[in-house]
């Protein structure tokens, strides 16, 4: 698919010949046509199946012990801790069933850059101290002997034998905290809470992707997949336990369980993804060079970095930012983020010139703005089209024909062109008729999956325990009086 652009052919022809040639090469490198999309999707379907069949496959296809979709009658109040890629968020969420507005008190706590390479003790101390402050600020505990129910959203790959347990497989999103990989992070969290004698009980641990799906299904029964298109990329969907050969369970085979795909690791063996030299460099220089191949080509953490590497390459060839000592300014890893990339497409020249001056201390000419816009479009277009392949693979595997994809994440929400490009790619992969009056698969916005989703799943878990369906639940005791619906 060609780059969509408001830049005219006259603008492009005004570029120096050498720059035109390089720009044409870059656009070709980032182009993923329909045939490529379909080939990638078929490989995706294969890896989805392999991940369900046995452990230690490319796609983890992690079981979550979230059984079934919400009824919409879940209610009650829940504490939620949401550990994402850039912030820690704590919420007090009151569910009033899907027919009534959900109430939420929340507070964000900045994660210092140093925490990403610190220790498990440092991380849990920060989180526990923040919870303590939050409970005091919002006067949440009245001295009752029954603790507040707590749901943890932990947006990193976990192996879960229980819904309130999780061993961290590997850090992603630039994190590399010592003493956590291979460990039960839920038990570490409990130990930290108990040291402070905080009046809370951890009842569920979820991934933000599972949360996005459940939060949306709580309000919208047509939700079939939850997708995260942000700092990282991932999807979750419901699978029959009978279709999960690696899972040993006494549950009926038609029981539905949420599967956290962890598909940022798709094609780690580099069989089908058309990597450019910039993708290869990002992979080589990352903390884990052989992991998260798909994520490094499509997720928000990396799109701005790809853009930076392209500009640096053009500067080193003497084609842009001549005489400005731009090498030192462009040779700073992750200096540019996805917001910068989005601005290249959707802001006028005056704003873009200001962006370059503020962020990079570079003066951009009209020629450099034309080139930057086209490169940004190529990178963002490829990212959106890649994001469609993972969702399309789930749709094809399940044989679904209609439904809603609940999307969360900064790229899906903040990049104005993402949804249109994603939908076009879905149409190409799934062979939707060109004369259709509506799209059979529609992207919707997830209703705060990392917050509301965790609260709904906590309610579902407590109700399931009370009903005696305890497989996959380890916590004992009671929590503060909660209405879980019927």
Q: Is the pLDDT of residue 66 over 50?
A: yes
- Bridge partner residues of 478 (DSSP): none
* Confidence (pLDDT) at 144: 79
Can you read off the two tokens belonging to residue 65? 């012990």
Side-chain-side CA neighbours of residue 170 (13 Å): 14
CB 78 within 8 A of CB 455: yes
- Cα separation, 245 vs 459, in Å, equals 28
* Confidence (pLDDT) at 477: 54
* Confidence (pLDDT) at 7: 64
Side-chain-side CA neighbours of residue 154 (13 Å): 31
Residues 69-86, mean pLDDT to the nearest whole number: 90
Q: Is the pLDDT of residue 125 over 90?
A: yes
DSSP result, 81-115: EEE-SSEEEEEEEEEE-TTSPPEEEEEEEEPPGGG
Q: 369-384 pLDDT, tens per residue?
A: 999 999 999 999 999 9
Place 328 in a pLDDT band, splitting at 50, 70 and 90: very high
DSSP result, 217-273: HHH-TTEEEEEEESSSEEEEEEEEGGG-TT----S-TT-EEEEE--GGGTTTT-SS-
- Bridge partner residues of 149 (DSSP): 201
Residues 426-454, mean pLDDT to the nearest whole number: 92
Q: Is the pLDDT of residue 50 over 60?
A: yes
Question: What is the residue-averaged pLDDT of the chain?
Answer: 91
Side-chain-side CA neighbours of residue 85 (13 Å): 18
Residues 73-92, mean pLDDT to the nearest whole number: 90
Residue 460: how many CB atoms within 10 A of its CB?
A: 23
CB 18 within 8 A of CB 406: no
Share of the chain above pLDDT 90, in %: 76
Q: Is the pLDDT of residue 99 over 70?
A: no
Which has the minimum average pLDDT: 32-41, 142-151, 308-317?
Answer: 142-151
Residues 192-219, mean pLDDT to the nearest whole number: 94
Place 87 in a pLDDT band, splitting at 50, 70 and 90: confident
Place 1 in a pLDDT band, splitting at 50, 70 and 90: low
Q: Is the pLDDT of residue 35 over 80?
A: yes
Which has the minimum average pLDDT: 14-18, 313-317, 439-443, 445-449?
Answer: 445-449
Which has the minimum average pLDDT: 90-104, 154-168, 290-304, 316-330?
Answer: 90-104
Q: Is the pLDDT of residue 485 over 60?
A: no
* Confidence (pLDDT) at 182: 95
DSSP letter for 448, please. S
Which contiguous run of DSSP H or E holds residue 63? Answer: strand 62-67
Encode burial over 92-105: b for 16+ CB neighbours within 10 A, e otherwise.
bbebeebeeebeee
Residues 390-400, mean pLDDT to the nearest whole number: 97
Residues 300-315, mean pLDDT to the nearest whole number: 96
Among the listed residues 289, 287, 271, 264, the one whose alpha carbon sits nearest the alpha carbon of residue 279: 289
- Cα separation, 303 vs 299, in Å, equals 6
Place 8 in a pLDDT band, splitting at 50, 70 and 90: low
* Confidence (pLDDT) at 475: 66
97 or 401, which is more confident? Answer: 401
* Confidence (pLDDT) at 107: 94
- Cα separation, 92 vs 96, in Å, equals 13
- Cα separation, 309 vs 296, in Å, equals 13
Q: Could you say which architecture CATH assigns to the domain 67-219+448-466? A: 2-Layer Sandwich (3.30)
Q: Which 3-state string (H, E, C) describes 353-398?
A: HHHHHHHHCCCCCHHHHHHHHHHHHHHHHHHHHHHHHHHHHHHHHH
Q: 154-186 pLDDT, tens per residue?
A: 988 889 999 999 999 988 877 889 999 999 999
Q: Is the pLDDT of residue 270 over 70?
A: yes
């Amino acid at each position: 698919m060609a780059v969509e652009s408001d830049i005219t052919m006259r603008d492009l022809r005004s570029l120096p010949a050498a720059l035109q040639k390089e720009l044409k090469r870059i656009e070709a490198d980032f182009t993923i046509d329909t045939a490529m999309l379909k080939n990638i999707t078929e490989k995706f379907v294969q890896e989805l199946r392999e991940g369900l069949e046995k452990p230690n496959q490319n796609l983890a296809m992690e079981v979550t012990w979230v059984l079934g979709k919400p009824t919409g009658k879940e209610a009650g109040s829940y504490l939620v801790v949401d550990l994402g890629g850039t912030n820690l968020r704590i919420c007090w969420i009151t569910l009033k069933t899907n027919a009534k507005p959900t109430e939420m008190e929340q507070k964000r706590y900045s994660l210092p850059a140093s925490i990403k390479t610190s220790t498990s003790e440092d991380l849990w101390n920060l989180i526990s101290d923040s919870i303590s402050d939050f409970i005091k600020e919002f006067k949440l505990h009245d001295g009752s002997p029954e603790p507040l129910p707590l749901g943890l959203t932990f947006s990193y790959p976990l192996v879960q034998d229980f819904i309130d347990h999780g061993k961290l497989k590997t850090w992603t999103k630039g994190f590399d905290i010592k003493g956590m990989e291979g460990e039960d992070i839920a038990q570490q969290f409990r130990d930290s809470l108990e040291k402070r004698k905080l009046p809370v009980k951890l009842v569920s641990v979820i991934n933000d992707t599972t949360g996005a799906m459940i939060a949306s299904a709580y309000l919208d029964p047509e939700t079939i997949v939850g997708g995260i298109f942000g700092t990282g990329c991932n999807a979750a969907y419901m699978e029959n336990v009978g279709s999960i050969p690696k899972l040993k369970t006494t549950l009926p085979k038609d029981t539905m369980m949420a599967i956290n795909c962890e598909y940022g690791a798709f094609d780690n063996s580099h069989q089908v993804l058309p990597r450019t030299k910039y993708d290869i460099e990002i992979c080589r220089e990352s903390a884990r060079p052989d992991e998260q191949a798909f994520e490094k080509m499509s997720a928000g953490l990396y799109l701005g970095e790809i853009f930076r590497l392209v500009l640096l390459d053009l500067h080193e060839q003497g084609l842009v930012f001549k005489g400005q000592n731009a090498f030192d300014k462009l040779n700073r890893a992750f200096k540019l983020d996805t917001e910068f990339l989005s601005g290249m497409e959707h802001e006028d020249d005056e704003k873009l010139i200001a962006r370059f001056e503020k962020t990079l201390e570079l003066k951009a000419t009209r020629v450099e703005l034309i080139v930057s816009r086209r490169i940004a479009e190529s990178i963002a277009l490829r990212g959106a089209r890649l994001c469609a392949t993972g969702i399309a693979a789930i749709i094809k595997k399940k044989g679904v024909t209609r439904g809603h994809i609940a999307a969360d994440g900064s790229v899906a929400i903040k990049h104005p062109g993402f949804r249109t490009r994603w939908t076009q790619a879905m149409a190409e992969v799934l062979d939707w008729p060109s004369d259709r009056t509506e799209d059979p698969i529609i992207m919707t916005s997830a209703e705060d999956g990392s917050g509301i989703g965790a609260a709904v799943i906590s309610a579902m878990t407590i109700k399931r325990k009370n009903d005696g369906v305890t497989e996959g639940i380890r916590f004992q005791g009671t929590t503060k009086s909660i209405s879980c619906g019927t």
